[in-house]
C-alpha cells in the first residue's frame, strides 16, 4: 500500500512539475522522470512510460540508458509488429551513447548487431 501511495505521489508531483515551462530541469529531475517511466513500463503503461522517457531525454538527450529504456517501451508497445527497424535504431542510438544492449535483445528484434 505504501509503495502504491509513494508512486502515486511521485507520479502526480512529477507530472505537474514536468509540465511547467518555467522550471529548468536538471540531471536529478531527469533521473526521476526516467524512474517514473521505468515504473510505468513495469506496469505495462508503455505509452505513458515513453512520455516520461521523452521528458528525461529533453534534459539529457545523449543519455544512453534513457534511450534504452524508451526503446524497450517502444518495443513492448509494438509487440505485434514484425517491423522493428525503428526500435533497432533506438537500440543502436542507446549503444552509441554508452548503454549496454545484449546481443539477445538485438537478435530478438532482428537488429543487425555486427560491428
pLDDT band (50, 70, 90) for residue 112: confident
User: What would the mean pLDDT of 72-84 be, rounded to a whole number?
Assistant: 85
Kindly state whether residue 29 falls inside one of the protein's structural domains.
yes
Q: Does 71 have pLDDT greater than 50?
A: yes
- What is the overall mean pLDDT for the chain? 85
User: What would the mean pLDDT of 65-80 be, rounded to a whole number?
Assistant: 91
Q: Does 19 have pLDDT greater than 60?
A: no
The helix (H) or strand (E) run that includes residue 57 is helix 46-59
Nearest Cα neighbor of 30 from 52, 6, 3, 7 is: 52
Kindly state whether residue 58 falls inside one of the protein's structural domains.
yes
Kindly state whether residue 65 falls inside one of the protein's structural domains.
yes
Structural domain span for residue 96: 2-108
pTM (2 d.p.): 0.78
Cα-Cα-Cα-Cα torsion 57, 7, 25, 58, nearest 10 degrees, comes to: 10
Amino acid at each position: 500500500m505504501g509503495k502504491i501511495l509513494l508512486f502515486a505521489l511521485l507520479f502526480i508531483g512529477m507530472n505537474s512539475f514536468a509540465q511547467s515551462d518555467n522550471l529548468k530541469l536538471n540531471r536529478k529531475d531527469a533521473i526521476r522522470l526516467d524512474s517514473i517511466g521505468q515504473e510505468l513500463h513495469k506496469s505495462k503503461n508503455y505509452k505513458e512510460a515513453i512520455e516520461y522517457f521523452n521528458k528525461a531525454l529533453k534534459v539529457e538527450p545523449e543519455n544512453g540508458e534513457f534511450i534504452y529504456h524508451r526503446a524497450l517501451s517502444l518495443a513492448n508497445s509494438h509487440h505485434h509488429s514484425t517491423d522493428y527497424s525503428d526500435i533497432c535504431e533506438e537500440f543502436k542510438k542507446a549503444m552509441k551513447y554508452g548503454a549496454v544492449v545484449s546481443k539477445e535483445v538485438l537478435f530478438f528484434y532482428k537488429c543487425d548487431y555486427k560491428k
